[in-house]
Amino acid sequence: MSKLETMTPELRAFVEEWKTKPGNLIMVLHRVQQTYGYIPREIAIEISQMLDVPLAKIYGVVTFYNFFRLQKAGKYNIQVCLGTACYLRGGDDIIKELERQLGVGLNATTPDGLFSVEAVRCLGCCGLAPVAVVNGEVHGKLEVKDVTGIIQQYRDRG
């Protein structure tokens, strides 16, 4: 179980600044995501109260847009491209193998907090398709058999 997050003074000031501006919810949620790496429930409740917006509306926005996360990403966030080139060359198979080996689905984090897996649209590396990026490190021309080595490489780093 993770510790409860508390709103930082900087975030509180940002919310106050945006409180009366149009489009404030999206801007505030982006700042929350930037601050914590995801949208913690306790912060969402506080935002709801500060902006006088129903919590259901906040979760509606968070679940509608793929950018927002409801769970903290792993130490190693594995982003697998599902743009056209990567998809056609087996990007989906790479995701399935990651899910199988790590025991978690998309947008989830392993219980040890080490890995998370997400599908993303084009990473701009179409010539290397299929591609996965782990914390900014590009792994291209992947085959399902490469997944074990990639996972082990980051496990070894701890």
> Domain span at residue 110?
76-157
Does residue 53 share a domain with residue 31? yes
Buried b (16+ CB within 10 A) or exposed e, 39-61: bbeebbebbbeebebeeeebbee
| Domain CATH code at residue 120 | 3.40.30.10
Place of tokens 């793929």: 66
Single pTM value for the model: 0.73
Cβ–Cβ under 8 Å, residues 83 and 123: yes
- pLDDT in tens for each of the 158 residues of the chain? 346 778 999 999 999 999 999 889 999 999 999 999 899 999 999 999 999 999 999 999 998 887 788 888 899 999 999 999 999 999 999 999 999 999 999 888 999 999 999 999 888 999 999 999 999 999 999 999 999 999 999 999 98
